[in-house]
C-alpha cells in the first residue's frame, strides 16, 4: 500500500517558521514510528503571489484535491495589504476551502493544565477543558443570496441572508455525530429556533439525522445566545458543539480564548469522503502570519504541531500517535519550557520557535 500523502503549504510570515518545526516532527514519525508520509510542499498566499502573480496556482489547487490532507501555515502580511482583492493572500486560503468544499470546521478548545492560568476564566472552570466546536463553513449568512447594499426609499439597506438547505445541515450534523463517537459521545446543537426559520429547520434536521443513524450519541439543543452564556459559565458541560457558520464564528473564538494563547490553537476543515473513505481535509493553526514577530525565531509552533496531530487523528486514523504528540506538547509546557507568547510577566527567559520544536521532539523520544 502506498504511503498517505500530505501537501504542505507554509505560506507567509511565521507560517514558514512553524511549518519547519512540523516538518521535523513528520520526519521523526517516519524514523521512529514507521509512519511515513509522501510529503510535497508548495506555495500559497503572498509567497505564491510573489512567484506566480496569484495567491494559489492552479497546479497547487489540483494537488490539494488529490492528496489525503493539506497542512497550511498562515497567509498574509503588510507587504500585500494594497493588492487587489482578487489576488490578496487570503483569497488563496478561501479558494482552497471553497473548491475542496470543506463544510465542517473543527475548532478544539482544549486547556492544557500548565496553561490554565492564562485563561480569562477561573482556573477550576477551564483546567482539563476539552471541547470541540463543529462550525458549518460553506453556507449560511456569509454566503446566502440576496446580499449587498441596496437603495430603498432613498436610503441604503444592507442585506445578508441566512439560508440553509436540508442537505447542508444533514452533512455537517453527520460530521459532528461521527466526531462525538470518537470522543465523549455528546453533541449540543446551537441555533436560534425561537426566532429564525433557518434555526427551526436546523433543529429538525439535526434531530432527524440523530434518530435515523446516531441514536447512541447523546443529543441536546440550546439557543445560541444561551449557549454563549453557558460556554463562559460552565464550559466543561460540553463535548461537541454543532452550530452554523455565523454563530460558529463567534462561539469558536469565545471557546478558543478560554484556553489562553493564539499560539496554541489548531483547526481542521473537513469535506465529503473521498474514494478511499477519508474526508477531504485541510489542517491549519488559527493564528495568522504574525508580521510583528516574523523572522525572529519567536513564534510558538504548537498550534501548527497540534494541527498535524489533528491530521493524524482525523485523516490518517492514527489516534494513538495523535495522543502521543499532544501529550508531548503538554509535557513540554508542564516542564516550564515556553515561547514568549506563553510567558507570565515574571516567567524567566522564553525559548525560540526552533528550540520549542526540538523540545517537543525530545518529549516524543521520551514517550517511546
As annotated, the active-site residues are 142, 192, 225, 249, 253
Least distance between ligand NAD and beta carbon 79 (Å): 9
Q: Which of 341, 334, 340, 339 is nearest to 363 (CA)?
A: 334
* 291 binds ligand NAD, rule: CB under 6 A: yes
Q: Which of 303, 312, 219, 239 is nearest to 30 (CA)?
A: 312
Q: Which of 73, 7, 104 is nearest to 303 (CA)?
A: 73
Least distance between ligand NAD and beta carbon 40 (Å): 20
What count of other Cβ atoms lies within 10 Å of the Cβ of residue 297? Answer: 15
Piece in contact with ligand NAD (CB under 6 A), picked from 34-42, 106-114, 171-179, 291-299: 291-299
* 246 binds ligand NAD, rule: CB under 6 A: no
Question: Of residues 96-125, which lie at the interface with ligand NAD (CB under 6 A)?
Answer: none
- Of the candidate residues 64, 188, 299, 332, the single one contacting ligand NAD (CB under 6 A): 299
Contacts (Cβ under 8 Å, ≥6 apart) of 62: none
Grid cell locating 33: 514510528
- Of the candidate residues 192, 203, 287, 324, the single one contacting ligand NAD (CB under 6 A): 287
Question: Of residues 252-281, which lie at the interface with ligand NAD (CB under 6 A)?
Answer: 262-263
Q: Between 189 and 269, whose beta carbon lies closer to ligand NAD?
A: 269
Q: Between 57 and 287, whose beta carbon lies closer to ligand NAD?
A: 287
- Of the candidate residues 55, 77, 248, 357, the single one contacting ligand NAD (CB under 6 A): 77
Piece in contact with ligand NAD (CB under 6 A), picked from 26-34, 68-76, 148-156, 318-326: 68-76
DSSP string, 109-153: EE--GGGGGGSSS-HHHHTT-EEEEEEE-SSGGGTEEEEEEEEET
Least distance between ligand NAD and beta carbon 80 (Å): 7
What count of other Cβ atoms lies within 10 Å of the Cβ of residue 197? Answer: 10
Piece in contact with ligand NAD (CB under 6 A), picked from 182-190, 237-245, 293-301, 320-328: 293-301
Rounding to the nearest 10 degrees, give the CA dihedral for residues 66, 310, 91, 144: 100
- Of the candidate residues 243, 245, 300, 315, the single one contacting ligand NAD (CB under 6 A): 300
Piece in contact with ligand NAD (CB under 6 A), picked from 48-56, 112-120, 125-133, 285-293: 285-293
- 289 with 77: CB under 8 angstroms? yes
Least distance between ligand NAD and beta carbon 222 (Å): 28
Piece in contact with ligand NAD (CB under 6 A), picked from 158-166, 170-178, 271-279, 296-304: 296-304
Please tell me what DSSP assigns to residue 272: E
* 293 binds ligand NAD, rule: CB under 6 A: yes
Work out whether strand 130-136 and strand 240-243 pair parallel, antiparallel, or are unpaired: parallel
Question: Of residues 2-31, which lie at the interface with ligand NAD (CB under 6 A)?
Answer: 14, 18
What count of other Cβ atoms lies within 10 Å of the Cβ of residue 84? Answer: 7
Distance from C-alpha of 167 to C-alpha of 278, rounded to nearest angstrom:
20
The 3-state DSSP class for residue 344 equals coil
Instruction: Write out the residues near ligand NAD by the rule CB under 6 A.
Output: 14, 18, 74-77, 90, 93, 262-263, 284, 287-293, 299-300, 303, 339, 341
Amino acid at each position: 500500500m502506498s504511503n498517505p500523502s500530505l501537501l504542505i503549504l507554509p505560506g507567509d510570515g511565521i507560517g514558514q517558521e512553524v511549518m519547519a518545526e512540523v516538518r521535523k516532527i513528520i520526519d521523526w514519525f517516519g524514523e521512529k514510528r514507521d509512519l511515513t508520509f509522501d510529503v510535497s510542499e508548495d506555495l500559497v498566499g503572498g509567497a505564491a503571489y510573489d512567484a506566480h502573480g496569484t495567491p494559489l496556482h492552479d497546479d497547487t489547487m489540483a494537488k490539494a484535491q488529490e492528496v489525503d490532507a493539506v497542512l497550511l501555515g498562515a497567509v498574509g502580511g503588510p507587504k500585500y495589504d494594497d493588492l487587489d482583492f482578487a489576488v490578496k493572500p487570503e483569497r488563496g486560503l478561501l479558494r482552497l476551502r471553497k473548491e475542496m468544499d470543506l463544510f465542517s470546521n473543527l475548532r478544539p478548545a482544549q486547556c492544557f493544565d500548565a496553561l490554565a492560568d492564562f485563561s480569562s476564566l477561573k482556573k477550576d472552570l477551564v483546567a482539563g477543558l476539552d471541547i470541540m466546536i463543529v462550525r458549518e463553513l460553506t453556507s449560511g449568512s456569509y454566503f446566502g443570496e440576496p446580499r449587498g447594499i441596496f437603495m430603498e426609499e432613498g436610503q441604503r439597506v444592507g442585506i445578508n441572508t441566512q439560508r440553509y438547505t436540508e442537505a447542508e445541515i444533514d452533512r455537517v450534523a453527520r460530521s459532528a455525530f461521527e466526531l462525538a463517537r470518537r470522543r465523549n459521545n455528546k453533541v449540543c446543537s446551537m441555533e436560534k429556533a425561537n426566532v429564525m426559520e433557518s434555526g427551526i429547520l436546523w433543529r429538525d434536521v439535526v434531530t432527524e439525522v440523530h434518530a435515523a443513524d446516531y441514536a447512541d450519541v447523546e443529543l441536546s439543543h440550546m439557543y445560541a445566545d444561551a449557549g454563549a452564556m453557558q460556554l463562559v459559565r460552565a464550559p466543561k458541560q460540553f463535548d461537541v458543539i454543532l452550530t452554523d457558520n455565523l454563530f460558529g464564528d463567534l462561539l469558536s473564538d469565545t471557546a478558543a480564548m478560554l484556553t489562553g494563547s493564539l499560539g496554541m490553537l489548531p483547526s481542521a476543515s473537513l469535506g465529503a469522503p473521498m474514494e478511499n473513505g477519508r474526508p477531504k481535509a485541510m489542517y491549519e493553526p488559527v493564528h495568522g502570519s504574525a508580521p510583528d514577530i516574523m523572522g525572529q525565531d519567536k513564534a510558538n509552533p504548537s498550534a501548527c504541531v497540534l494541527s498535524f496531530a489533528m491530521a493524524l487523528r482525523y485523516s490518517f486514523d492514527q489516534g494513538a500517535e495523535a495522543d502521543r504528540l499532544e501529550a508531548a506538547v503538554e509535557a513540554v509546557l508542564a516542564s516550564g519550557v515556553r515561547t514568549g507568547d506563553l510567558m507570565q510577566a515574571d516567567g524567566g527567559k522564553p525559548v525560540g520557535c526552533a528550540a520549542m520544536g526540538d523540545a517537543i521532539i525530545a518529549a516524543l523520544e521520551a514517550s517511546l
